[in-house]
Chain A
Amino acid sequence: MSTINFAAREINCKIVYYGPGMSGKTTNLKHVFSKVPGHLRGEMVSLATEDERTLFFDFLPLDLGTVQGFKTRFHLYTVPGQVFYNASRKLILRGVDGIVFVADSAPNRLRANAESMRNLRENLLEHGIDVRDVPIVLQVNKRDLPDALPLDMIRAVVDPKKELMIFEAVSDKGVGVFETLKTVSRLVLERLSQNK
């Protein structure tokens, strides 16, 4: 559940971008950072390796404004996608309120998409969270690749029951980035209102 600080009249929500390595999670955050007015966003913190792979996480705070007297803020995180950084991924999921799963459209990443979703379910369970208890939105990224796999094929491996809202994106051009973030944020706020 989001952290509500009554005295300071603040509500903070945590949204995590999850997905296989190089699927475009950091690119999503960079686009948000570049487009949101400076007074509504904080510093972007990136803990990355020399070749710009996320080592621990990226972090970007976003101010939504004041609602019913509460300053409402979203903290956006990415996790490292590489398989061997699972300990970091597990830590970042602590206290998560909403998740954007970023899948890669490249044909050779189909299996990585499936494994990352399985890993997400396992890590959530280790925090005692059933995957159905947290809002998750599926973003299928890199739709501009000439050999991009059909949407249905990607969905079949990460969301076979078709339970998640799905967005097509080209994150390095900003396509679909805000739509995805807006939807997951709305889902988080709805749950907050329902006190779940």
Chain B
Amino acid sequence: MIEPSLALYGDAFERVDGLIQELLDTTGVRYGLLVDRKGFVLSHKEALWAPRPPALDSVATLVASNAAATAALANMLGERTFSEQIHQGENGTLYVESVGTDSLLTLIFDASVPLGKVKVYAKKTIGQIASILDELKDIPPVQLGEDFSAGATSLLDDLLG
């Protein structure tokens, strides 16, 4: 195994999804993503009124890379980590905070939403999500089998010739 991965199973996934939705409803945040440290989206919710979401793969990759770069900076400055990142623009804000050691909660919202309110509610949600992710740590590894490899290789042939 190269690096442990997060695996969100049915009930846990539903609960994480529900918490992010609740956070969106309470705060007026437009998009909420749970991203793992490798840059993959684990869960995504958008407010009903939100426009078409941005390219989520790209957002997740850049958020995770930015968090990694920020952590490296923190180490250079003698800090263990900088746990949150805030990027404020003219019309919107991107807020990222660590959830345990393996993932990042990413929130995107308009200038009309107070940052302080988002931070207060986000911290509560992060605590709840972190507990769920902790429960998942003992889950046995996934068995995909040879059939998966054969099926995927056949799709590779279709895609890459």
Interface residues of A (CB under 8 A from B): 1-8, 12, 14, 36, 40, 42-43, 45, 56-57, 59, 61-62, 64-65, 67-68, 70, 72-73, 75, 87-88, 91-92, 94-97, 127, 129, 133-134, 178, 181-182, 185-186, 189-190, 192-193, 195-196
Contact = CB atoms under 8 A, between A and B. Distances in A.
Contacts of B12: 7
Contact of A95 (B7, B37, B152): B37
A5 B40 contact: yes
Interface of B: 1-10, 12-14, 17, 36-43, 55, 57-58, 61-62, 65, 68-69, 72, 141-149, 151-153, 155-161
7 contacts: A1-B4, A4-B142, A6-B142, A45-B61, A65-B159, A95-B5, A189-B152
Contacts of A75: 39-40, 57, 61
Contacts of B149: 189-190, 192-193
Given A14-B38, A68-B148, A95-B38, A7 B1 contact: no
A12 B14 CA distance: 20
Contacts, number: 141
A97 B2 contact: yes
A43 B7 contact: no
Given A56-B65, A91-B69, A178-B161, A195 B143 contact: yes
Contact of B3 (A67, A127, A192): A127
Contact of A133 (B2, B40, B62, B141): B2
Contacts of A196: 1
A189 B160 CA distance: 15
A193 B159 contact: no
A90 to B, nearest CB: 8
Interface residues of B, dominant DSSP: helix
A88 B72 CA distance: 10
Given A75-B61, A189-B156, A95 B3 contact: yes
B4 A8 contact: no
Contact of A72 (B37, B147, B155): B155
B65 A91 contact: yes
B37 to A, nearest CB: 7
A2 B57 contact: no
A181 B17 CA distance: 34
Contact of A59 (B42, B61, B146): B61
B155 A64 contact: yes
Contacts of A87: 69, 72
Contacts of A73: 57
Which 7 A-B residue pairings sit nearest by Cβ, starting from the closest?
A7-B13, A95-B38, A193-B149, A3-B40, A67-B151, A61-B57, A182-B160
Given A91-B68, A192-B144, 20 more contacts: A1-B1, A4-B5, A5-B13, A6-B13, A8-B8, A8-B43, A42-B58, A64-B156, A88-B69, A91-B65, A91-B69, A92-B65, A94-B3, A94-B38, A95-B2, A95-B37, A129-B3, A181-B160, A185-B160, A193-B148
B156 A182 contact: yes
- Centre residue among A7, A40, A42 by max chain B CB count within 10 A: A7
